[in-house]
Amino acid sequence: METKGYYLEDSSETKVNLTTSNRVLSVAGGTFLLTSGVKNLFEPTLGNLFRLAGGAYLIYRGIKGHCPITDALNEKGKVLNIRETMVINRPKEEVYALWRNLENLPRFMKHLSEVKVLNENRSAWKAKVPGGLV
C-alpha cells in the first residue's frame, strides 16, 4: 500500500525577490535612516520614529532579500476577467466614429473629466483622482 502525503508550502522560508543592487541599497538606506534616528533618539518626534522604524525595516529587507510589497505587485495568476455585453442600437460605423473621437471618451469613461485633441498626434487628458483632484 502506497501512502501519499500532501503538505502545504512552508511559509517560514521566504524566497528572495530582490536583486543584489536592491538589497545593497536597502541596507545602505536603512543604515542612513537608522543612524539618523539614533542620533536624535532623545527627541521624541514622529519623524524620528519613522526614521527608526523605516531604517530597521530596510536593513531587515536587505538582509533577507525579500519584500512583501514586491511580491504583492508581482503576483501572477490572480487575473480578474469581467465581461459584460450590451446592445447598442446604432450602425457599427457610427459607434466606431464615436469611439475613435477622443473628446467623447469622458462620456463613458467616468475617471476622465476632459480630453482635448491638440493636433493629429497629440491630445491633452484630464483625469479625476481620489480626493476630488483633477
Both 57 and 101 in one domain: the answer is no
Rounded CA-CA distance 39/34 in Å is: 9
Q: What is the pTM of this model?
A: 0.47
pLDDT at 82: 74
Both 63 and 99 in one domain: the answer is no
From 44, 73, 102, give the residue that closes a domain: 73
Residue 6 included in any domain: no
pLDDT grade, residue 78 (50/70/90)?
low
Whether residue 73 contacts residue 95, with contact meaning beta carbons closer than 8 Å, is answered with no
Tens digits of residue pLDDT in 10-49: 455 568 888 999 999 999 999 999 999 999 888 889 999 9
How many structural domains does the chain have?
2
Both 62 and 96 in one domain: the answer is no
Residue-range definition of the domain harbouring residue 63: 20-73
In sequence order, what DSSP letters do the residues of 69-115 get, joined into one string?
HHHHHT--S------------S-HHHHHHHHH-GGGGGGT-TTEEEE
State the Rg of the chain over Cα: 26
pLDDT grade, residue 55 (50/70/90)?
very high
